[in-house]
Amino acid sequence: KEIGFRLSSLIQQRVLIKLEAEDISKEIEPSQGAKPNSDFSQPLPKNKAETNIRINKRTKKNMGRGDGILGIRDAAEGGSRATVTRRKKWLKRRERWLVVLGVVLHAVYMLSIFDIYFKTPIVHGMDPVTPRFQAPAKRLILLVADGLRADKFYEPDSEGNFRAPFLRSVIKEKGRWGVSHARPPTESRPGHVAIIAGFYEDPSAVTKGWKANPVEFDSVFNRSRHTFAFGSPDIVPIFCRALPHSTWNSYPHEFEDFATDASFLDEWSFDQFQSLLNRSNQDPKLKELLLQDNLVVFLHLLGCDSNGHAHKPYSSIYLNNVKVVDNIAARVYNLVEDYFKDNRTAYIFTADHGMSDKGSHGDGHPSNTDTPLVAWGAGVKYPRPISRSNLTDCGFRFIDEHMHDTPTPTEWGLHGIERVDVNQADIAPLMSTLLGLPCPVNSVGSLPLDYVNMSEEAEVEAVLANSKQVLSQFLYKSQMKQSNSLNFKPFKPLAHYSTMLNEIEYQISAKNHEAAMKLSEELRGLALQGLNYFQTYDWLMLMTVISLGYIGWMIYLVLHVLQSYTSLSGYPFRKEQTVHQTNDTTKVQLCGCLFMGVISILLFIERSPPLYHAYTTVTVFLWTQIFSEYQFIRALWNQLHGRRFYYIIKILGTCAVSVFILEFLVNSFTERQLYTWCFLIVGVIASLTLFKSLPWRSGIPLFACLACWFLSVFTLMPAEIPENNHLVIGSGVMIIMIGMAARWLDLHAEGNKYWLSICNHEMKTTSFPMLFQLQALLVGLSSVMVSLSTSHRIQKRELLALHQFINWFIAGFSMILPLFSANGLLSRLTSIFLGFAPTFLLLSIGYEAIFYGALALVLMAWILFENTLLYASKVKRSPASLQNVKDDVGLEFGNRYLQLSDVRIPLTFMVLFNVAFFGTGNFASIASFEISSVYRFITVFSPFLMAALLIFKLFIPFMLVICAFSAITKLNRLPRLGCYFLVIALSDVMTIHFFFLVRNKGSWMEIGNSISHFGIMSAQVVFVLLLFALTNIYTKDIHISSTHPSSRKAM
Ligand SMILES: [Zn+2]
Ligand SMILES: [Zn+2]
């Protein structure tokens, strides 16, 4: 022990020597860019709130003079320059470390949703279950109309004519129909996987790319003798690229240019199929192949999807495409029947997903999830008139629990005919059964018996085969879990599955089909439940670890903020001086390491996924760090103990208000109208406060009130922005007017002390004399371009290359200009506001363009509010308090310590940051952005560029808020990173709340939203940081003129 003690003190000394040597070498170098008054031994004239003075006075009473709160004062006042420099370095290192830790932690914990909710359902190694019945069909034609929503398919048009006459005649005369319920994400790839392979792909597959096949999976095509597939290059290769027994073709990507009518894509697929049949007349080998059994023909019809995206599902082009699709179905039917003439073909017509009114898909809205399903031909039942008794419910619904048999709208004109709804994945076992093939091994679909026309015996065999296939998946998963876990908890209801199987076999041999059917269905239901059980097996453990981790992170952050940016800071240096404490810290850390090791070994034995190690490691690490700060925590506790009751109440009050605001924000995620109330009330409160604080009569309170009320309007508007070009153009005028007003204020507010810190006339230098005029001109020009390029699009013409070029140029050029503006607070912010306006206008389609101006006005009001508080505190300050200014200083770059009341700034920031999003949208439609807003930049369908542009559009209001936030921290001389950490700690309160709000029951809309809320909140740490870094380019050289020249003289 003695040796260890010596050793650690030796190391300590070495570190000290090294640090001091660095300091000296630093001092020898001429410090570049350092402000002449950055010397800490000479305090700066500082503005400060009165509360701070009071706090400091009280502190002194408690701790005795010269002692500081935790002894920082004697370190700093001892004149030890090295300590201050070391402190600075330590802080810098610590900040960098915290940012890295925060990013890593949030990334790791965000990945946990992939382990918890998006765990891939695929397992390998099960054997297919060969069915024991005669196949009713020899071949199957699968027609998928991409993006065709159910209501547009079934309902009549305004003149009462139905759009799909052929398929309606099928429904009425020779087939079955229903609604197939897709599961979010309602995207093409998961939709097709559900139809063809029978399972719901984990949404992470979407991120792994559309063209490549991230995982091998079994499909109906795989089981077929041969598959012919024609369609989009995004879909067909998913299933056919690795399939040797397939013939497929797809058109080049350029065909998907969405400026024209895309129904020719459907025709392309049909033509391919037709020419295949024609070719077979000359090709005997092909003919022989076509005449064999177990064939699948898949025609992917992309027209509806492309036209829906480009022209929305209410457009005549989309609706006409429904007719095209129906016509193709008719032609395919006639072609096939003419060719084979054997009545052994089954037909299935469906869609992979719907299309929302905005021309997008992806979320769980019924317009996206409800797709038509029509089946007819060999092995399919004939229509049956509806009766009360045959209203079947399709049994257990796997995770997806929404109601299926929603009433059929009367205008569909189909209420007399039985409708059978299915889950999208049920189509795969249906196709397998029609062809007499084994179900795809990963399928979780339940065979919809109401579609199949077979003998009772064959029906039982078909359901049994389906049940066995689901059961074998369950058994495989159960086995894998059992072989790995130390404390295995089996799924009890299926403990005696083999008795159940025997019972079913017995009933079948006794020709007791009804009982056998009932048992088979029960077995399938249990097996599906069991699959779900193993899918969610680790939830409790993971959720505990992760919520502990978040809590630890918040505590750690708050400790850091207290240690580094408040008057409590400086403590760590005292710690370094006492070796005993270091020794204790080492002990704590050693314990932490040991604990971590034990957990890792346990996880390793259980063969847990590598990320499980990451979750536990991060959590244990954080708590170890917190425990090793126990000295500080104890000191903190003693501090609080020594304080007066009033102070404790104040802290608790601040916490309560913060939690209230954060809970308000959590609720606003589902109800954006809350912001309307919020801003109506805030407008009144802010203007009253301003009115009281300002000693002279001015328009500022009125301005703040009106700005808030103006902004409150936007959260009442529909989240799905209606197109309105006049608003966009009008907003251009408004933005120029706001800019001119700010400019006028900037130029004419001289001589007033209140405006001094904002306008900053001493520093007015710009390398660009006509900058303001140029920026205003660009805003005007972008308004003109908005009207020009849209009028071209309305006339169904393509976006002119010239327009496209000008739009890109304006957007790019205008964003560089703010960098050259004068560095006064108001002039720089005005310039940033004008700089992003053209890009935003070009990306706008409706009222959100006005929102941009309204948000800027509120941000201005916020700045004025903070400036007023500052001004009021300056006016009130008595000369006697000047000696306390010393306590105020102590952070780098002349920043002052954070105080309790400063929490209002991160809180206000968070409200504004969220309203920047909710002013123009909501999370219900997060996956389905308004796609037409990118038309002024691109015409060819390129998902990544489009997504990038849309995300950039979202970024712009956020950037404005962050710029204002940065300006306010400069105005108040607060440490910006300290405020950033507070924002992160506060937003993690919301993250935890959302983590617990994540649900796995209810409609998919709710499930999807709850998951995306959590994901978005976890991403915020990176998101905010990224935006901080980005906006720092614009705001870093904002200069606030020294606000209190008289006090400096007094010093
Ligand atoms: Zn699609
Ligand atoms: Zn689409």
pLDDT in tens, 131-160: 899 999 999 999 999 999 999 999 998 888
> How many angstroms separate the Cα of 859 from the Cα of each of 703, 885, 968?
12, 30, 10
Å from CA of 957 to ligand 1 middle: 31
User: Which single residue is written with the structure tokens 């890593």?
Assistant: 104
| 759 phi and psi angles, rounded to 5 deg | -85, -40
Residue 457 is which amino acid? E
What sign does the CA torsion over 146, 147, 153, 154 have? positive
In 3D space, the residue among 353, 238, 240 whose CA is nearest the CA of residue 304 turns out to be 353
In 3D space, the residue among 198, 195, 265, 262 whose CA is nearest the CA of residue 231 turns out to be 265
Q: Which ligand is nearest to the CA of 306?
A: 2
CA dist 187 and 232 (Å) reads: 14
Q: Which residues surround ligand 1, an ion (CB under 5 A)?
A: 146-147, 188, 305, 352
Contacts of 736 (CB under 8 A, 6+ apart): 776, 779, 780
Neighbours of 577 (CB within 10 A): 12
What sign does the CA torsion over 355, 357, 358, 362 have? negative
Strands (E), 444-570: none
Å from CA of 1006 to ligand 2 middle: 22
Sorting pLDDT into bands at 50, 70 and 90, what band is 893?
A: low
Count CA atoms closer than 13 A to 596's CA, side-chain side: 19
* Highest mean pLDDT pick, 202-216, 717-731, 947-961, 992-1006: 947-961
Å from CA of 939 to ligand 1 middle: 19
Q: Is 279 helix (H, G, I), strand (E, B) or coil?
A: helix
Q: Which ligand is nearest to the CA of 361?
A: 2
Q: Please answer whether residues 704 and 864 qualify as being in contact, where contact means their C-beta atoms are separated by less than 8 angstroms.
A: yes
Q: Please answer whether residues 870 and 757 qualify as being in contact, where contact means their C-beta atoms are separated by less than 8 angstroms.
A: yes
Average pLDDT over residues 262-284: 93
Å from CA of 305 to ligand 2 middle: 5
Beta strand pairing call for 422-423 and 175-181 = parallel
User: Does residue 44 have a pLDDT over 50?
Assistant: no
Q: Please answer whether residues 886 and 680 qualify as being in contact, where contact means their C-beta atoms are separated by less than 8 angstroms.
A: no
Q: Which ligand is nearest to the CA of 232?
A: 1
Sorting pLDDT into bands at 50, 70 and 90, what band is 713?
A: confident
Please give the DSSP secondary-structure letter assigned to residue 763. T
Residue 28: per-residue pLDDT: 40
Residue 873: per-residue pLDDT: 79
Å from CA of 966 to ligand 1 middle: 43
Helix (H) or strand (E) holding 807: helix 801-816
Sorting pLDDT into bands at 50, 70 and 90, what band is 461?
A: very high
Percent residues over pLDDT 90 in the chain: 30
126-135, 176-185, 405-414: segment of lowest average pLDDT: 405-414
Q: Is 714 helix (H, G, I), strand (E, B) or coil?
A: helix
> How many angstroms separate the Cα of 755 from the Cα of each of 308, 319, 538, 826, 1035?
53, 60, 59, 10, 19
Sorting pLDDT into bands at 50, 70 and 90, what band is 884?
A: very low
Q: Please answer whether residues 622 and 552 qualify as being in contact, where contact means their C-beta atoms are separated by less than 8 angstroms.
A: yes
Å from CA of 163 to ligand 1 middle: 20
> How many angstroms separate the Cα of 740 from the Cα of each of 51, 772, 959, 963?
38, 9, 21, 19
Tokens representing 692 are 């009281």
Average pLDDT over residues 972-995: 86
pLDDT in tens, 658-690: 999 999 988 888 888 888 898 899 899 988 888
Beta strand pairing call for 226-231 and 422-423 = unpaired
173-187, 541-555, 1034-1048: segment of lowest average pLDDT: 1034-1048
Q: Is 156 helix (H, G, I), strand (E, B) or coil?
A: strand
Q: Which ligand is nearest to the CA of 187?
A: 1
CA dist 612 and 106 (Å) reads: 14
Phi-psi region of 1003 (alpha: psi -120 to 50; beta: other; left: phi over 0): beta
Residue 200: per-residue pLDDT: 85
> How many angstroms separate the Cα of 506 from the Cα of each of 324, 454, 462, 512, 514?
51, 21, 16, 9, 12
Label residue 854 exposed, middle or buried (CB < 10 Å: 0-12, 13-18, 19+): buried
Average pLDDT over residues 61-84: 44
In 3D space, the residue among 225, 217, 169, 171 whose CA is nearest the CA of residue 195 turns out to be 217
Å from CA of 707 to ligand 1 middle: 43
User: Which single residue is written with the structure tokens 């108001």?
Assistant: 826
User: Does residue 354 have a pLDDT over 70?
Assistant: yes
CA dist 849 and 841 (Å) reads: 6
Average pLDDT over residues 1016-1045: 76
Å from CA of 339 to ligand 1 middle: 30
Q: Which ligand is nearest to the CA of 148?
A: 1
Beta strand pairing call for 422-423 and 345-350 = unpaired
Tokens representing 66 are 């010269």
Tokens representing 327 are 């016509």
Sorting pLDDT into bands at 50, 70 and 90, what band is 629?
A: confident
Q: Please answer whether residues 197 and 440 qualify as being in contact, where contact means their C-beta atoms are separated by less than 8 angstroms.
A: yes
pLDDT in tens, 207-242: 454 445 545 788 999 999 999 999 998 889 888 888
CA dist 669 and 651 (Å) reads: 27
CA dist 48 and 60 (Å) reads: 17
Residue 763: per-residue pLDDT: 52
Q: Kindly calculate the radius of gyration of the chain based on its CA atoms and give it in whole angstroms.
A: 34
Q: Please answer whether residues 452 and 462 qualify as being in contact, where contact means their C-beta atoms are separated by less than 8 angstroms.
A: yes
CA dist 298 and 273 (Å) reads: 9
Q: Is 778 helix (H, G, I), strand (E, B) or coil?
A: helix
Å from CA of 438 to ligand 1 middle: 27
CA dist 636 and 562 (Å) reads: 9
Average pLDDT over residues 703-715: 89
In 3D space, the residue among 246, 101, 56, 303 whose CA is nearest the CA of residue 883 turns out to be 56
β-pair partners for 555? none
Average pLDDT over residues 327-334: 96
Q: Please answer whether residues 229 and 300 qualify as being in contact, where contact means their C-beta atoms are separated by less than 8 angstroms.
A: yes
Q: Which ligand is nearest to the CA of 147?
A: 1
What sign does the CA torsion over 962, 967, 970, 974 have? negative
| 376 phi and psi angles, rounded to 5 deg | -155, 175
User: Does residue 938 have a pLDDT over 70?
Assistant: yes
Q: Which ligand is nearest to the CA of 188?
A: 1
Average pLDDT over residues 761-770: 61
Tokens representing 927 are 């996956």
Residue 745: per-residue pLDDT: 83
Q: Please answer whether residues 1041 and 760 qualify as being in contact, where contact means their C-beta atoms are separated by less than 8 angstroms.
A: yes
Å from CA of 354 to ligand 1 middle: 8
1 compared with 668, residue with greater pLDDT: 668
Å from CA of 231 to ligand 1 middle: 12
User: Does residue 42 have a pLDDT over 60?
Assistant: no
Q: For the residues of 168-217, what is the DSSP string, one character each?
A: HHHHHHTEEEEEEE--SS--HHHHHHHHHH-S---THHHHT-SSS-SS--
> Which ranges of 817-903 would DSSP assign to H, the alpha helix?
825-842, 848-876, 885-888
Helix (H) or strand (E) holding 519: helix 513-535
6-20, 281-295, 586-600: segment of lowest average pLDDT: 6-20
pLDDT in tens, 906-917: 999 999 988 888
pLDDT in tens, 153-206: 999 988 888 999 999 999 999 999 999 988 877 888 889 999 999 998 765 554
- C-alpha triplet 1008, 1014, 1018: angle, nearest 5°: 140
Across the chain, what does the average pLDDT equal?
80
> How many angstroms separate the Cα of 116 from the Cα of each of 57, 425, 545?
52, 22, 12
pLDDT in tens, 366-398: 888 899 999 999 999 999 887 655 554 444 343
CA dist 39 and 546 (Å) reads: 44
Residue 878: per-residue pLDDT: 46
Neighbours of 426 (CB within 10 A): 27
- What is the 3-state secondary structure of 402-417? CCCCCCCCHHHCCCCE
Q: Please answer whether residues 318 and 308 qualify as being in contact, where contact means their C-beta atoms are separated by less than 8 angstroms.
A: yes
User: Does residue 49 have a pLDDT over 60?
Assistant: no
> How many angstroms separate the Cα of 1047 from the Cα of each of 249, 348, 520, 1044?
80, 84, 88, 6
Å from CA of 417 to ligand 1 middle: 28
- C-alpha triplet 541, 116, 1026: angle, nearest 5°: 110
What sign does the CA torsion over 463, 466, 469, 473 have? negative
**Model confidence, pTM:** 0.70
Contacts of 337 (CB under 8 A, 6+ apart): 343, 345
Q: Please answer whether residues 554 and 988 qualify as being in contact, where contact means their C-beta atoms are separated by less than 8 angstroms.
A: yes
Residue 396: per-residue pLDDT: 38
> How many angstroms separate the Cα of 563 from the Cα of each of 96, 212, 625, 885, 1012?
15, 50, 14, 20, 34
β-pair partners for 350? 144, 373
In 3D space, the residue among 958, 996, 933, 887 whose CA is nearest the CA of residue 56 turns out to be 887
What sign does the CA torsion over 546, 548, 552, 555 have? positive
| 975 phi and psi angles, rounded to 5 deg | -70, 120
Q: Which ligand is nearest to the CA of 941?
A: 2
Residue 765: per-residue pLDDT: 58
User: Does residue 58 have a pLDDT over 60?
Assistant: no
CA dist 96 and 100 (Å) reads: 6
pLDDT in tens, 98-114: 888 888 888 888 888 77
Å from CA of 306 to ligand 2 middle: 6
Q: Is 350 helix (H, G, I), strand (E, B) or coil?
A: strand
